[in-house]
Structure 1
Amino acid sequence: MSGLPWIAALSALFLWWFSTGIILLIVRRADRLGGFAHMRALILMVPVLVIGVFGIALSVGMRDIAGAYLGFLSALAIWGWVELAFLTGIIAGPQKAPCPPGLSGIPRFARAWETIAWHEMALTAGLLLIVVLSDGAANQVALWTYLTLFVARISAKLNLFFGVPYITTEFVPRRLSHLLSYFRRGPVTAAFPIGITVLTFATACFLWQLALAPTDAEAVGWALLSAIAGLAMIEHWLMLVPLAEAKLWRWMLPAPLTNSATEERPGQ
């Protein structure tokens, strides 16, 4: 097999790092500017969302290497815009207050859901849109890319809610500082082995398909998916070890504004 899958995997790593850094940069600058900066940033990025939708519509009929990359990039564009909408606080949830002390069980879960309800609905709407666009299509890279990110994000949020030993809170935006009170630092729960098993299985399946790929185009597609699923799996394992993954982006971002709210410790 040619070196194209390796190039694709490295491309996925770079795109994940770069797109995450750009989103964090936009949000932090909006935090510093205040006023309508968050809404303005989201509106200015609407073309990225539109390009993502049209890119998927175009890629699903393409069987070549360009189609694999286009589907992957287009899915990232839609995902990135929704994440930006969340991190700017524009599309988050109706509940914007910290979790009351002592709240637990179903009431705590229901209140936590209210903090991110609109975001989850937006992500689900994006998934349904891609399902419709990809129905019966030859190229499913966009669908599998978005679905992998979707499942990984749900698992990560559940683990942060139920409890993990290490939580990176450095990049939580000022508008979402109340979310810290819904995080729990502690021993892992059943949510972790379930999530890591699903992601490990997905990564293994993608790698298996990569090994069996009959064409370079299919190999590139499976390599992109293997890389993104592997990254999601690694990010989950980082909840168990004290590694400062924030260093990957800290150097490229302006210093955060001092805000005591963002310095709250996650719930115990």
Structure 2
Amino acid sequence: MTSPWIASLLAIFVWWFSTGAILLAVRRADRSGKHLQTVITALPLLVFGGWAVWMSLADTSVIGIYLGFLGALAIWGWIELAFLAGVVTGPMRDVCPPGLQGKDRFFRAFGTVAYHELLLTVGLLALVTFSGGSPNQMGMAAYLVLFLARILAKLNLFYGVPRINTEFVPARLAHLKSYFHRGPVTYAFPIAITILTALLVVCAERLWTASSDTTVMGYALLTALAALALLEHWLMVVPLPDAKLWRWMLPDTDPAPNTTLPNED
């Protein structure tokens, strides 16, 4: 487990599998109507994440690096499940009024995800607080990469990108599609690509110059995570069938109410 290739493949597999598992849980909740029960049942995932990160803080071994990484993803995964299940979203649950533009549309869109953003921020602050001064800050670093990528992705979905996959938007979040903007890229896209590319280059450079197994493992995991974040953004522009990565593993369900994307070309 000390090979950077194994670490990178593990990061990619965990990203793919955890995304599919969350989508599967949410789709089953949509079919059964047990959204809150699904989120409560998954609480052990959050507990494991907190425990894993806590145990990793003083452990500078390869196992400690993996614990911190998996713990951060477990915490992140539970928060995403709570959001996609429609349990932790925001005070605004209506579709965007036709013709709404500018700051009014922005603040209304933010209202649809405000509680989710607050919970993500609380998670980040908790990790920063407890990781400060610790010899192993892998959990905080992994969570920070996810946090940065998510903020940039949401801004691009709001301001506009050519490709928006709404196939996996859950039934209880169907109103979010009215806040997406399918169209030419805006200044938000090159800004996001520049930031994520710089992050990837820094992580890759640190990986290349790493001198210990633990440092190699840590930056291999972060490099893979940064690469996935960058790929996620390019898939908003490049016409590739990324939905096929998870569609095969999800049960059929009634489609969410159709909502036309603003300024759809």
| TM-score clears 0.5 | yes
Instruction: Name the amino acid aligned to 1:132.
Output: T
Q: 2-side partners of 1:255 and 1:266: how far apart?
A: 23
Verify: 1:124 aligned to 2:94, yes or no.
Answer: no
Give, in angstroms, the shift of residue 256 of structure 1: 2.2
Runs of 5+ consecutive residues of structure 1 not aligned to the other structure = none
Instruction: Name the amino acid aligned to 1:233.
Output: L
Residue number in structure 2 paired with 1:204: 201
- Percent of aligned positions with the same letter in both sequences? 55
Among 69, 72, 76, which residue is 2:66 paired with? 69
Match of 2:136, SS? Answer: coil
Residue number in structure 2 paired with 1:266: 261
Q: 1-side partners of 2:144 and 2:165: how far apart?
A: 24
Query: What do residues 18-58 of structure 1 show as CA deviations (whole Å, max 9, x unaligned)?
Result: 00000000000000111xx1100100111110111111111
Give, in angstroms, the shift of residue 265 of structure 1: 2.5
- Aligned runs of 1:1-268 on 2, under 5 Å? 4-34=3-33, 37-259=34-256, 261=257, 263-268=258-263
CA contact (8 A) 2:2 2:62 kept: no
Give, in angstroms, the shift of residue 3 of structure 1: 6.5
Q: 2-side partners of 1:85 and 1:251: how far apart?
A: 23
CA contact (8 A) 1:60 1:139 kept: yes
Q: 2-side partners of 1:204 and 1:258: how far apart?
A: 40
Query: What do residues 101-121 of structure 1 show as CA deviations (whole Å, max 9, x unaligned)?
Result: 000000000100000000000
Match of 2:261, SS? Answer: coil
Q: 2-side partners of 1:89 and 1:182: how far apart?
A: 16
Match of 1:159, SS? Answer: helix
CA contact (8 A) 2:155 2:188 kept: yes
Query: What do residues 121-155 of structure 1 show as CA deviations (whole Å, max 9, x unaligned)?
Result: 00000000110111001111111100000000000
Runs of 5+ consecutive residues of structure 2 not aligned to the other structure = none
Q: 2-side partners of 1:20 and 1:104: how far apart?
A: 32
Match of 1:265, SS? Answer: coil
Q: 2-side partners of 1:26 and 1:99: how far apart?
A: 27
Could you tell me the TM-score, scaled by structure 2's length? Answer: 0.97
Could you tell me the TM-score, scaled by structure 1's length? Answer: 0.96
Query: What do residues 62-105 of structure 1 show as CA deviations (whole Å, max 9, x unaligned)?
Result: 11110111000000000000000000000000000000000000
Instruction: Name the amino acid aligned to 1:12.
Output: A
Q: 2-side partners of 1:88 and 1:240: how far apart?
A: 27
Give, in angstroms, the shift of residue 258 of structure 1: 3.5
Return 136-145 or 21-30, whichever deviates more: 136-145
Q: 1-side partners of 2:136 and 2:211: how far apart?
A: 14
Query: What do residues 148-186 of structure 1 show as CA deviations (whole Å, max 9, x unaligned)?
Result: 000000000000000000000000000000000000000
Q: 2-side partners of 1:177 and 1:154: how far apart?
A: 20
Q: 1-side partners of 2:26 and 2:262: how far apart?
A: 24
Instruction: Name the amino acid aligned to 1:266.
Output: L
State the aligned residue count: 263
CA contact (8 A) 1:56 1:133 kept: no
